[in-house]
């Protein structure tokens, strides 16, 4: 079996995340501002919509994980789901940024309903896609290399959505119509690139064993300490990411002083550029240093840079804010390839430790943890904005403007620091994983400690 992936296949694999990232970015840095500024919902109500949707994910994500472990076609276990779900996913992106209704209740009901549809459509694609990395190659370094393609390509999608859309919606007098047009185009593009992924990757690692009963999979996850560490890190990290992302446009406009669509687009683009550079830096660093340590210290550095940005960037300093947003984005995205490749490895760790294959449920629950973090960030952001006195319309007072700075920077810094602390308990570096897979069991701590210290 060839372990190395072609450039075409790595690109196709990365294309899948481009499509998914469009939804993630839309549902993080754009949807909150859309609900508050365009639909007219209060910050708290907009935050609770995010939480309601993520609560529904508590059922849909694990269920999708179970479905992917039970059904196989000639395309494999995962690729057919990408084909089935591509078109509904594209439609859901367009609906997510449309408005309906005259009363406040009607608007809130519509926004909640289309957000649920988008989230379910995302789940149908995301769970199989996340699982793909475990079957396109068994080589952990090739998985890192594939993720090194994946995340920069995903950030290209982020760059397009976070820059062109804000610029586009500020050009006319009707932002509702502008958002709908923008995401009809974005939705169509997402369908095409998801299908490109489905037809150009290959599932090489074939698992023929029957799926474990659900109760047994749950038992396996409860005994998988490394999966639990990754799950907790995922929740905490994405709370920080989403608090930061949800107020980024508001921070750029109200605190940093971006006065037009070009200024906002330039500021928002730094998050995407940093997201392209960060994974590339990660790939370079993991050639020389333990990937788990790279992950952990990148989180500590992210907290430090965020605090420095809060301390050094004053109100109206759009240039300083833009530079620090780039630095924060680079450092905070160094962990990304490591995090997502670790999910499969933590699942295989559980199989070696317990003899229970809970991979389907494990992937579904990891996606749920990601969305749970995103969901928790909604009310957190909403209540913080309400506490500092931010209003959806009219001029902001001094307290609200200053509050945007520490919500954008200090609050995420706390969650980055916590993520680094949590990852102190994650032990599966490349040496550990290789020994585990060769032996079919968990290595003794003394077998891996010396190698990790050498690195």
- Residue 262's Cβ-side half-sphere holds a number of Cα atoms within 13 Å equal to 0
Quote the DSSP letter at residue 212. Answer: P
Task: Judge contact between 182 and 165, C-beta under 8 A.
Answer: yes
Alpha-carbon span 134 to 347, nearest angstrom:
10
pLDDT given at position 297: 95
- Domain membership of residue 338 (yes or no) is yes
Segment of 184-188, 201-205, 446-450 carrying the highest mean pLDDT: 184-188
Express each pLDDT in 211-222 by its tens digit: 677 788 888 888
> Is residue 204, in this structure, part of any structural domain at all?
no
Binning pLDDT at 50, 70 and 90, where does residue 455 land? very low
Structural domain includes residue 203:
no
Give the model's pLDDT for residue 109: 94
Percentage of the chain lying above the pLDDT 70 cut: 93
Cα of 202 vs its chain's centroid, Å = 24
Average the pLDDT over each of 19-33, 97-111, 198-212 and give the range with the smallest value.
198-212
Residue 262 has pLDDT above 90, yes or no: no
Count of structural domains within the chain: 1
Question: Does residue 387 sit within a domain?
Answer: yes
**pLDDT level of residue 207 (50, 70, 90 thresholds):** low
pLDDT in tens, 345-367: 888 888 888 888 887 678 778 87
Q: How many residues does the chain have?
A: 455
Mean pLDDT of 185-209: 85
Return mean pLDDT, the chain. Answer: 85
CATH of the domain at 166: 1.20.1250.20
Q: What is the pLDDT of residues 56-87, one digit of tens each?
A: 876 787 788 778 777 777 788 888 999 999 99
Q: What is the pLDDT of residue 352?
A: 86
pLDDT at 453 > cutoff 60: no
Task: Answer whether residue 446 shows pLDDT above 60.
Answer: no
The backbone torsions φ and ψ at residue 73, rounded to the nearest 5 degrees and listed phi first, read -125, -175
> Which residue from 268, 196, 204 is spatially nearest to 76, judged by alpha carbons?
204
Give the mean pLDDT of 304-331. 94
Per-residue pLDDT of 389-429, as tens digits, reads 888 776 788 899 999 999 999 999 999 999 999 999 998 88
What domain range includes position 242?
A: 7-198+213-454
| Structure confidence at residue 407 (pLDDT) | 96
First CA to last CA distance, the chain:
29
| 328 vs 184: CA distance, rounded Å | 31
Q: What is the mean pLDDT of residues 376-384?
A: 91
Task: Answer yes or no: is 2 within a domain.
Answer: no
Positive or negative CA dihedral for 354, 360, 365, 367?
positive
In a domain, 1, yes or no: no
> Could you count the other beta carbons within 10 Å of the beta carbon of residue 233?
26
pLDDT for position 84: 92
Q: Which of 157-161, 249-253, 315-319 has the highest mean pLDDT?
A: 315-319
Backbone CA torsion sign across 428, 158, 281, 145: positive
Confidence band of 210 (pLDDT split at 50, 70, 90): low
Phi, psi of 315 (to 5 degrees): -60, 135
pLDDT tier at 449, thresholds 50, 70, 90: very low
| Helix boundaries (H) for 223-290 | 225-250, 261-285
């Amino acid at each position: 079996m060839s372990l190395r992936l072609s450039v075409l296949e790595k690109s196709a694999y990365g294309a899948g995340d481009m499509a998914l990232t469009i939804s993630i970015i839309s549902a993080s840095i754009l949807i909150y501002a859309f609900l508050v500024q365009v639909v007219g919902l209060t910050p708290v109500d907009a935050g609770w919509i995010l939480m309601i949707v993520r609560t529904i994910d508590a059922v849909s994500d694990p269920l999708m994980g179970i479905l992917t472990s039970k059904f196989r076609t000639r395309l494999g276990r995962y690729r057919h789901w990408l084909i089935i779900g591509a078109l509904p996913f594209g439609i859901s992106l367009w609906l997510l940024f449309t408005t309906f209704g005259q009363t406040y209740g009607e608007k809130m009901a519509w926004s909640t309903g289309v957000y649920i549809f988008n989230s379910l459509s995302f789940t149908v694609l995301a769970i199989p896609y996340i699982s793909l990395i475990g079957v396109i190659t068994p080589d952990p370094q090739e998985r890192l290399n594939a993720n090194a393609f994946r995340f920069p390509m995903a950030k290209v999608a982020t760059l397009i959505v976070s820059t062109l859309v804000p610029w586009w919606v500020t050009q006319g007098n009707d932002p509702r119509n502008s958002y709908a047009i923008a995401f009809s185009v974005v939705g169509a593009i997402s369908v095409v690139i998801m299908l490109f992924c489905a037809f150009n990757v290959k599932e090489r690692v074939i698992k023929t064993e029957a799926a474990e009963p659900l109760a047994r999979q749950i038992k396996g996850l409860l005994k998988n300490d490394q999966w639990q560490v990754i799950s907790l890190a995922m929740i905490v990290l994405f709370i920080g990411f989403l608090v930061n992302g949800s107020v980024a446009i508001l921070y750029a406009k109200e605190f940093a002083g971006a006065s037009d669509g070009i200024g906002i687009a330039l500021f928002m683009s730094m998050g995407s550029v940093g997201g392209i550079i960060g994974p590339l830096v990660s790939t370079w660093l993991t050639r020389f240093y333990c990937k788990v340590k790279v992950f952990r210290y990148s989180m500590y550095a992210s907290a430090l840079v965020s605090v420095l940005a809060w301390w050094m960037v004053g109100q109206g300093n759009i240039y300083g804010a833009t530079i620090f947003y780039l630095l924060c984005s680079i450092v905070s995205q160094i962990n990304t390839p490591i995090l997502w490749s670790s999910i499969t490895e933590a699942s295989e760790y559980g199989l070696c430790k317990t003899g229970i294959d809970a991979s389907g449920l494990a992937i579904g629950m990891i996606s749920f943890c990601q969305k749970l973090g995103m969901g928790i960030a909604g009310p957190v952001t909403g209540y913080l904005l309400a506490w500092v006195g931010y209003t959806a319309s009219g001029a902001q007072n001094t307290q609200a403007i200053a509050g945007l700075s520490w919500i954008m920077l200090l609050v995420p810094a706390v969650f980055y620091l916590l993520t680094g602390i949590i990852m102190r308990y994650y032990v599966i570096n490349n040496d550990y994983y290789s020994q585990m897979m060769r032996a079919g069991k968990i290595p003794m701590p003394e077998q891996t400690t010396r190698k990790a210290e050498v690195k």
